[in-house]
Structure 1
Amino acid sequence: MAGVQDQLEIKFRLTDGSDIGPKTFPAATSVATLKESILAQWPKEKENGPKTVKDVKLISAGKILENSRTLGDCRSPLCDIPGGVTTMHVVVQHQASEKEKKAANEPKQNKCSCVIL
C-alpha cells in the first residue's frame, strides 16, 4: 500500500490549454527532474518551447515549485486526491542572455536634441 501512496500521477498543463501526460512519478522525484521530463516531452510543433530547465516554471496549488524540492515536499493535502491526477501548470520564461542583461542595465541615452536658430 505504501508503494501506491509514494507515486503521484501528474499531467502538465501548457499555456495553450494542451497537456503533457499524465505520467506517474515517485514522490521522491525532484522538481528539476520533472522539468527535464517536460523538456523531453515538449511537443515539437509548439513554438517558443523551453530550451533549458531554467526556462520552465512549474506551478502547483498556486505555488511556484523550487528545483531542489521533491514531489513529496510539494504535495498539498487539499489538492492531491489519492488515486487522482494532479495538474501542474507550466510557464515558459526564457532567460535573458548576457547581452540582453547588459543592455537592460545600461543607462538610457537621451535622444532628443534642441536646434537653436
Structure 2
Amino acid sequence: MTRIFDNITPDTALGTHLQKTFEVSERMDAAVGYFNLRGWAAFDELVKKKVADGAAGAVVRILIGMSVTGPQEEALEDLQAEVDGTHEAMPMPMLRGSARRSCSSSCVRS
C-alpha cells in the first residue's frame, strides 16, 4: 500500500518513519535533493548507538544533489549502461567535446 508522508503529525512524518526503519536496519543510504543539517539530529543518537555496537563501515550515507540534465545526464546514462553491460559504442562523429577526447578503445571509429 502507498504511504504518504506529509510531516503534519508524528505518524505521517518522514523522519519518524525513517528512524523506525533505521532502528531495525544495519545501515541507511539516502539520495535527496536537499538536506538541512538540522535534520541530522533525528539520526544522531541512532548512528552513535550502531557505531558503539560495532557496526562495520558506513552506517549512513547521504547523497545530496538535484537532478542532472543535459550532457551530465547523458554521461551518467552511458556509464550506467557500461556497468550493466548494455553500452553501445557511438561512432566518433556523434561524440562531442570531452567525450570525444576521452573516448576509450571501445568506441567505434569511423
Instruction: Tell me if both proteins adopt one fold, taking TM over 0.5 as the criterion.
Output: no
Which of the two has greater helix per residue?
2
State the structure with bigger RCO (CA 8 A, min sep 6), 1 or 2.
1
TM-score (norm 2): 0.25
Which of the two has greater strand per residue?
1
